Amino acid sequence: MSKTLIRVNSITLSYDGVNVIENLSFDICEGDYLCIIGENGSGKSTLLNAILGLKRPTLGKIELCGIKRREIGVLTQQNPVSKDFPALVCEVVESGCLNRAKNGLFINKSAKKTAFENMERLGVTSIARHPYRDLSGGQRQRVALARALSAAEKMLILDEPVTSLDAKTTYDIYSLIHDLNRRHKMTVVTVTHDIDAALKNGTKILRINKDSVFFGTVDEYLRLDEAKAYVDADHKQNGDDIPFGEGGFRYMGGAK
Amino acid sequence: MTLNILTLNFAQAISRLGEYLSYGFIRNALIVTVLVSVSAALLGVVLVLKRYSLLGDGLSHVAFGAAAIAATLGILDLEMITLPVTILAAVILLTLSGKKIMGDAAVAIISAGALAVGYTIMKVGGGEANLGGDVCTALFGSQEILASDTTDIVIIATITALLIVLTVIFRHKLFSLTLDERVARATGTKTGLYNLAIAVVTATVIVIGMKLAGALLISSLIIFPAMSAMRLCKSFKLSLLLSPIIAAIGALLGVLLSIILETPVGATVAAVDILIYVITHIIKGKS
Ligand SMILES: Nc1ncnc2c1ncn2[C@@H]1O[C@H](COP(=O)(O)OP(=O)(O)OP(=O)(O)O)[C@@H](O)[C@H]1O
Ligand SMILES: [Mg+2]
């Protein structure tokens, strides 16, 4: 049994008195690859915010046991950087390494190296000295991911990491995260709408919907009716040829 | 003919400038203006990027209100009142806008409120003699800057030096904090503490800058050099470096121009800063 890093203890999350999530409990353990799925507006981002300490639960609490906040790499859903923020791509990625420095103030050689490696991984080294404000949506997403990877010492928390990425990048990033998780023991928590990729790469599934919640391993999830229905529908879809739809990457899914 | 007159006037102006520069008080005024502008511009980068430009503006109105009350009460050392009041207002405004309860409405309410209260108190309890002049001075700055003595210079130089050192040490933190405060907080940065520090620095810069540029113009010293630098630079580091340099140039030009044209120092510096901003716009084109 691996070590528990984050313990979510019967939390209720609400906005202006309206509950979005009620009485939810689960643990995030070392080495987990937890995929959070659910419809639009079901409260996935809200839950991530609560885990990140950005939203206070109305009831219950979230404990960080085996991990410190500064060991987490974060990618949020909305990218709030304004159109005129002066920042080079490398500045953005390097800032992710800040928490690795002892005093959290200066970026040392090894942090710079980490940043560079992650820029390589995400294929943004060629634009390292470009202004971040001039990038396309997909390029920004890659840079933000490189930053999150640079910050992640033990855990990656990602909200829809592959939105607005092209097919190849999506595949590469799934492989990358899979590799980090399996080989480098990186704990991953990700919100995704790509259920295929979630079932392929993930180790655990948290499905939140208005009326029911499921938390368990991927195998347990696959035994549910809804998963069967999904897989069936999926097979039918697979028969038609829809080359690159949502979830069209099943065959490339996780790099094994 | 016209050219002759122009050259003549120019020659006169230059000789007048030369004469003025030989006065110690003019040199003092130059030094103080440059220092205040540099502090304001350093702070400006952070305020503009954190979208707190409005906060700076609101706080200067609070400082005006506090100064009006202090003056009416007959307190001589205005900073004794304006600094703590402005710091308090900064902290209150930051906590409010941080919680997104009211955002810019909070700033508007407090700044308009402070102006109204300040002016009313000046009228009711204050010196009947030269009220118009006093109000004008408090709002637009005074020529008192020309009377800066060594103590003033030492205080302002210390604050400026401290601000430069702090900015250099915390530049990476400031970057994370302005780039994405939520992620910074989620990854363990004590954003509340940093925001508090920024609020205190803002209040301090506004209070020391008020004498020069007044409540209404100090925010242009904060905002414009930063905006110009951010327009010219692609990187955060360079913007942070260029903003105070632009401000120093603006301050020097502004003071010299105000001597030649016999215009108010603060307003002239502000006008030069704005002019520089317009020029950066023209250079870089609109986007
Ligand atoms: N700041 C907010 N104030 C009030 N209500 C909010 C706020 N943010 C989210 N909500 C509401 O909470 C619910 C959950 O939102 P959330 O963003 O967590 O959904 P999500 O599962 O991440 O959806 P998506 O798949 O579209 O990203 C929604 O009904 C939304 O309207
Ligand atoms: Mg969401």
* Predicted-complex ipTM score: 0.86
CB contact under 8 A, A53 and B185: yes
Inform me whether the C-beta atom of residue B172 falls under 8 Å from chain A C-beta atoms. Answer: yes
> What is the sign, positive or negative, of the torsion defined by CA atoms of A101, A105, A108, A113?
positive
Atom in ligand 1 nearest the alpha carbon of residue A38: 21
Tens digit of pLDDT for each residue in A125-168? 999 999 999 998 889 999 999 999 999 999 999 999 998 889 99
- Look up residue B279 and give its two tokens: 């020029």
Residue B21 belongs to a domain: no
Domain of residue B189 covers 27-286
Q: Near ion ligand 2, which residues have CB within 5 Å?
A: A 45, 77
Q: List the one residue out of A211, A218, A228 whose CA is nearest residue A197.
A: A218
CB count within 10 Å of CB A236 equals 8
Tens digit of pLDDT for each residue in B225-242? 999 999 999 999 999 999
With 90 as the cut, is the pLDDT of residue A246 above it?
no
Ligand that comes closest to the CA of residue A18: 1
Q: What per-residue confidence (pLDDT) applies to A82? A: 76
Q: Which CATH number goes with the domain that contains B279?
A: 1.10.3470.10
> For residue A214, what is the enclosing H or E element?
strand A213-217
Domain count within chain B: 1
Smallest Cα distance from B36 to chain A, Å: 24
- Look up residue A107 and give its two tokens: 């970026």
Which of A65-79, B34-48, B78-92, B238-252 is predicted least confidently?
B78-92
Q: What per-residue confidence (pLDDT) applies to B286? A: 55
d(CA B218, CA B221): 5
Tens digit of pLDDT for each residue in B254-273? 998 988 888 888 999 999 99
> For residue B210, what is the enclosing H or E element?
helix B191-232
Atom in ligand 1 nearest the alpha carbon of residue A191: 22
Provide, as residue numbers in chain A, all residues whose Cβ is less than 8 Å from the Cβ of B236: 85-88, 91
Interface probe with A: pick from B99, B174, B180, most Cβ of A within 10 Å: B180
Q: What share of chain A is helix, strand, coil (3-state, %, to 5)?
A: 40, 25, 35
d(CA B148, CA B131): 23
Residue B33 belongs to a domain: yes
Interface probe with B: pick from A55, A67, A74, A141, most Cβ of B within 10 Å: A74
Which of A114-118, A156-160, B134-138, B236-240 is predicted least confidently?
B134-138
Smallest Cα distance from B218 to chain A, Å: 23
| Bridge partner list, A189 | A34, A157
- Each domain of chain A, given as residue ranges in start order, spans 79-153
- Look up residue A252 and give its two tokens: 């490339």
pLDDT category of residue A54 using cuts at 50, 70 and 90:
very high
Residue B202 belongs to a domain: yes
Q: List the one residue out of A183, A174, A105 whose CA is nearest residue B176.
A: A105
- Read off the DSSP letter of residue A104: S
Residue B199 belongs to a domain: yes
- Read off the DSSP letter of residue A2: P
CB count within 10 Å of CB B248 equals 17
CB contact under 8 A, A84 and B169: no
